[in-house]
Amino acid sequence: MDSKLLRTFVAVANHGSFTGAAKELYIAQSAVSKHINQLERELGAQLFLRDTRMVRLTAAGEGFYRDSVDILRRMDAARTALQGEQGGEHGRLALGAFSVVPTEIVALARRFHACWSGVELSLDWFEFGTLLERLEGGDLDVAFTMAFELLDRPHLRRRTVGRGRMYVLLGSQSPLAGAKQLYLKDLAELTYYTMRPDVTPNGYVNMMRFFAEKQFQPRRSLRHTSHESMMLQLQVHDDAYGLMGDFQYRDHPGLVFLPLAEEDQPGGDAFDRVAVWRERNENPNIPRLLTLLGEDHPKLE
């Protein structure tokens, strides 16, 4: 069985369409249809249900999808290992992180450099609105961001770096700055500082879902164009707060991070920190980086 057919099958399943798969694989849509038809003939089974709106996996296709992903992963790992043995350390690896580069990501980059010092390694930061665009455009090999940023990008692969924990961000002079932890009810009379929806649409939507889940409504909200702007404002105004993961800005001298009480933590994995890469990026240094991140975690549904 040709691995090209498996890659086409996985791409169609990831996108739920032949058109999306064709764009990802840089081939004609007719070629995608040909590959799928050939694969179904070889297997003697129907893998997809097709209608005018979308393409979805059959029960047989779902099982074959899991096996195909595993087969391709093993093939890529074997090729990477062989290239490493034959060619040694080579190439480059471009990493990007959202807004602030957390200390964990810096530590990961240092570990990679210690293991594969011959690889040209770069690490840059970007705002939410540009990070994944740079990844999908090929400027970056791996991006570190929040899981909610992948809700409309199911074609990207991910691995969880850290579980999401919500913290309250306050100016160091805030009356609440000395607390050990805070509840949402403690914030009821304060102004909520957040990012503008056009800067991080998925982040904004998920914060609104979080508030609905906890049946909490901020008294007043002010939206900012960047995290840096929000940080400056919080240091000026003691009657305001932000909500974010503890890995953002926690070492800033003018700000404090206080844990949100366990009962007020968000459900699900939308606020997890994740490493993201393109399915078709065959840079052999990506598997090397992933070996430093532990076990696989499932993709977002």
Just give the CATH number of 3-82.
Answer: 1.10.10.10
Amino acid identity for residue 253 in this structure = P
Listed by start position, the domains of the chain span: 3-82, 89-163+272-290, 166-264
Query: Does residue 141 contact residue 268 with C-beta atoms inside 8 Å?
Result: no
Is the confidence at residue 78, as pLDDT, over 80? no
Tell me how crowded residue 3 is: count the other CB atoms within 10 A of its CB: 12
What does the alpha-carbon distance between residue 123 and residue 142 come to, in Å, rounded to a whole number? 10
In our burial notation (b when 16+ CB lie closer than 10 A, e otherwise), range 232-242 reads ebbbebbebbb
> What does the pLDDT read at residue 85?
53
Q: What is the pLDDT of residues 153-176, one digit of tens each?
A: 878 898 888 777 889 999 999 999
Beta 92-98 vs 120-126: how paired, if at all? parallel
Global pTM exceeds 0.75: no
Please give the CATH architecture assigned to the domain spanning 89-163+272-290: 3-Layer(aba) Sandwich (3.40)
Q: What is the pLDDT of residues 235-264, one digit of tens each?
A: 999 999 999 876 655 667 889 989 999 999
Fold for the domain defined by 166-264: D-Maltodextrin-Binding Protein; domain 2 (3.40.190)
Q: Tell me whether the CATH fold assigned to 89-163+272-290 matches the one assigned to 166-264.
A: yes
